[in-house]
Amino acid sequence: MSRSGLPRADQATATASVLGLTLASAVDRVYTSYVWKNVVIVVWFDAATVESILVFERSCQERAQKHPQGMSSVHIMVPGGKSLPTAEARAELSRVMREYAQYSAATAVVIPGTGFWASALRGMITAVSMLARTSANPRICGDFAAVAAWLPEVHEQRTGVRISANELVSALQSAERSGLAAVA
């Protein structure tokens, strides 16, 4: 239960919906994803597994049908993840990236902090992107401000949908809070 008295998943959904976010998919203690306008925001709590990637892929299929003009995505990596994805999970991530590249307007990955965990994660993201062999390489950012400085212009150029930097930061903060509430 959350502090509000709602079950944690319901609390995350209620908080997100008030702020214009819609829960898209989730795998308990691995990730929670939301849709805001035509931007997907994924909060990763732990390493992706093959099973969690297959759940994520099903929501990618739904979003591709709903937004054939493309969507952008922001992946927020919550510090303190216990491990990196296995080789099998990395290969599956590469396959999904390749398969849905035509629907990807822009991708940002937020990896806060410095040190071994952040460096290892940056390297893994780069390796998975290279394996995917697409032109849709993610931009790695250290915070939400860096995402907001880059994504809105690229997103509008590629999808025709205008998003404001301030609203994007608010959506990212809300998704992070909602996702964290679901696993607290």
Give the CATH number for residue 99: 3.90.190
- Ramachandran region, residue 78 (left: φ > 0; alpha: ψ -120 to 50; beta: rest): beta
The tens digit of pLDDT for each residue in 96-109 reads 888 888 888 888 98
Number of structural domains found in the chain? 1
Q: Is residue 14 part of a domain?
A: yes
Q: Is residue 2 part of a domain?
A: no
Burial class (CB in 10 A: 0-12, 13-18, 19+), 135: exposed
With a cut of 90, say whether residue 143 has pLDDT above it.
yes
The lowest-confidence range among 3-7, 71-75, 82-86 is 3-7
The identity of residue 32, as a single letter, is T
Mean pLDDT of 165-182: 89
Q: Is residue 130 part of a domain?
A: yes
With a cut of 70, say whether residue 110 has pLDDT above it.
yes
- Residues of the chain with pLDDT > 70, as a percent, come to 82
Q: Where residue 161 falls among pLDDT bands split at 50, 70, 90?
A: very high
Compute the CA torsion angle 127, 132, 138, 140 (nearest 10 deg): -10
Residue 155 domain boundaries: 8-183
Q: Is residue 1 part of a domain?
A: no
Q: Is residue 135 part of a domain?
A: yes
Q: Where residue 78 falls among pLDDT bands split at 50, 70, 90?
A: confident
Asked whether 42 and 129 are in contact (CB, 8 A), the reply is: no
Q: Where residue 131 falls among pLDDT bands split at 50, 70, 90?
A: low
Q: Is residue 64 part of a domain?
A: yes
Asked whether 162 and 177 are in contact (CB, 8 A), the reply is: no
Query: Bigger pLDDT: 26 or 130?
Result: 26
Q: Is residue 3 part of a domain?
A: no
With a cut of 50, say whether residue 181 has pLDDT above it.
yes
Mean pLDDT of 28-43: 91
Computed over every residue of the chain, the mean pLDDT equals: 81
Q: Is residue 54 part of a domain?
A: yes
Find all residues with CB under 8 Å of 59, minimum gap 6, and list them. Answer: 24, 25, 33
